[in-house]
Amino acid sequence: LNIFQNGQIFIELCEDLKGILLCGSLKNIYAIGAGYHSESENEVAALVAHAHNETQRYLEDHGAKGETANYACGLGDLILTCTSPTSRNYTCGQRLKKGERLGKILEDLKTVEGVNAIREIENIKRYPILAEIANLLR
């Protein structure tokens, strides 16, 4: 992963493969919620901040390192996916807010990774933001 620092590029190394993979899945789910709340930048910012904390807890609960959520693969991707109008997951949330049916959204977008990922979350009630997004998708 390339990161710029003082005009230089360096490689950020993270050996927590499980954490990296979980961050990649979770950010897609959170982006659906961010899209749903996209009319308010304050709500999206709050969602991202709380989602970051929830991600750390989720990682620790599932045998990964919570600190992996602080890497670019965690927080960086979370911010990008939760604020990008080109993200399919973010777009899904926006369309749900407008009252569109999930089936139609999936038909149009073809792939919305967060919809599939949320089905794999165990004990979802332990994670309030994930639980709320699951409710949006019902």
Tell me the H-state helices in the chain: 17-36, 41-61, 77-83, 88-97, 102-109, 113-118, 128-137
- 27 given a catalytic annotation: yes
Check: CB of residue 132 under 8 Å from CB of residue 33.
yes
Q: Cα-Cα-Cα-Cα dihedral of 14, 19, 20, 21, to 10°?
A: 150
Of the candidates 122, 138, 132, 129, the residue with the CA atom closest to the CA atom of residue 63 = 122
The catalytically annotated residue of 27, 65, 104, 125 is: 27
| Residue numbers annotated as active site | 27
